[in-house]
Amino acid sequence: LILGDLPDLIKHQKQTGEQRRWFALQNQKFNSPVCQVFIRPFGKPRVILSDFREAHDILSKRLKDFDRSDRAREAFAGIIPHQMLSYQTVDPKFKKHRELMRDLMSPNNQVSAPEIYSKVNTLVMLWHEKCLHAAELPFDGKTDIQRATLDVITAVSFGLDDKNSATRRQLDDMLSRSTAGVKFTQPGKTIVDFPIHPLTAELDATLTIVESSAVGFSSPIPRWHYWILSQFPYLKNAARVREEWTRCEIDKAVKGVSKDGSENAWATRSALEFMLFGFIIAGHDTTAATLSWGVRYIADCPRAQEKLRSLLQNAFSTALAEHRQPTIDEITGSSIPYLDAVIQETLRLSAVLPIVSREAMVDTTILGYAIPKGTSVFFTLNGPSLMKPAIKVPEAIRSESSQRTKDRYGEWRAEDVEQFVPERWIDVDDEGVETYNAMKGPFLTFGSGPRGCFGRRLAYLQLRIFWVLLMWNFEFLPVDAELRTQDAVEHVGVEPCESYNKELHVDKIC
């Protein structure tokens, strides 16, 4: 009785490798959009809401009633205590941090697009080399995706030359082994385990800290749990390397923080270090997890893959005729509705951050249920109405602001809401012309309102460049059932334990 629902949550975590997807299962178990769970001994219950309309309304309209929850703040407080992810909206430091990060996270940042394009092209070269040696056997591409996205976000933040690029170092190692006559396939094995080249100390420290962040989301006492973990030598060393690295880079550019060339009084080096590292974490881990799931989805949906590749070849017909990659200007300047739909559907179905949480700042209600001040409310992004059939809610018990926006979004069909269907985001007119419609149905992957993901536009830019170049160069084939495990692992986002790729060069099949 004292432990409440905690044993059931722990059991789910042991079986699946993660715990955040457990919460939506409680709404399904009780067939109710609202329920409560007891997961912190002697603590208050947590309320779970699995209803898109009401969640969207709270996040975007009921800003005086709800703010960032203690659970969300504690999840990041261990690794980035002085970053806006760890502040409530009413905290003056939140606004200052958001303003400082705005330019860096904007796709209009002239550094972003070329750096993303360059680093993704290096991943393409690496996978071409792996395809040559894999002999059409699958290999785990998850590590390559993780390292490519880490290269991207580091390059956007600091600039990153080839000698420090994780993907370039891996490619150079592959080429040197290949030149030396190394064979990567092994008799009797149905997969290829390519050797993994060591990272630089700075990038290795970054991944070590990202992996340690799992306790922020899985522990009932995340702040204390992370403090204990941080006393271990390996994490102490990673924190030291991270601090020295970010401080060095900040020292190069800190005079640019304010318009008059002097440092802002509030923008201490310590605060800047945490803000910058928070940017790297947010821009790397979730994008890598989304792409790892996305490669699975597209491999298992050949119809969608063929359609996307055909539309890309039509859109970039000059590049196709000249036997080259589409340029960055061609990619960012094109309108390809089905590409937008594939990106949006990947984001919806992967739900790498399956919970958004808020804290009631006043006594209030949700769908007729009393919510006392101080209660943490978890909104599920992988449950009913978003990734499962919706649970019916009487219109009369919704908030007034929710009722006023009743017709703003559509609803997903129950029969395919759990499937990868990019067409759900497409409108077709009487002449058969397709247009992308982001309002077709429920979507909360980036949250909503003033606390919505501050890197949303940069994330879309990254995913656009990744998808174009990967689809342009490779056909992803389904892998055998034993390699298609749904086991997941939690860091900042929920990602697959492995993501096996079975690829062919497009130039071999066109």
Annotated binding site: 453
- Composition of the chain by helix, strand, coil, percent to 5: 50, 10, 40
CA distance 80 to 343: 29
Residues marked as binding for heme? 453
Nearest to 209 by CA among 232, 188, 191, 179: 232
Q: What dihedral do alpha carbons 486, 492, 493, 498 form, nearest 10°?
A: -40
**Which single residue is written with the structure tokens 């009631």?**
360
Q: Which two tokens stand for residue 441?
A: 């149905």
Q: With beta carbons less than 8 A apart as the criterion, state whether 327 and 423 touch.
A: no
**Helix (H), strand (E) at residue 309:** helix 302-315
Q: Could you give phi then psi for residue 259, rounded to 5 degrees?
A: -70, -30
- The number of CA neighbours under 13 Å toward the Cβ of 14 is 6
**Helix (H), strand (E) at residue 380:** strand 376-380
Where are the extended beta strands (E) located within 25-141? 34-37, 46-49, 66-68, 139-140
How far is residue 16 from each of residues 50, 276, 474, 489, measured CA to CA in Å? 21, 32, 31, 8
CB count in 10 Å sphere of residue 211: 16
**Helix (H), strand (E) at residue 475:** strand 474-476
- Which pairs from 464-467 meet CB under 8 Å and 24+ separation? 464/331, 464/332, 464/339, 464/343, 465/113, 465/116, 465/117, 465/120, 465/328, 465/331, 466/120, 466/291, 467/294, 467/308, 467/339, 467/342, 467/343
Question: Burial of 459 by CB count in 10 Å (0-12 exposed, 13-18 middle, 19+ buried)?
Answer: buried
3-state secondary structure of 371: strand
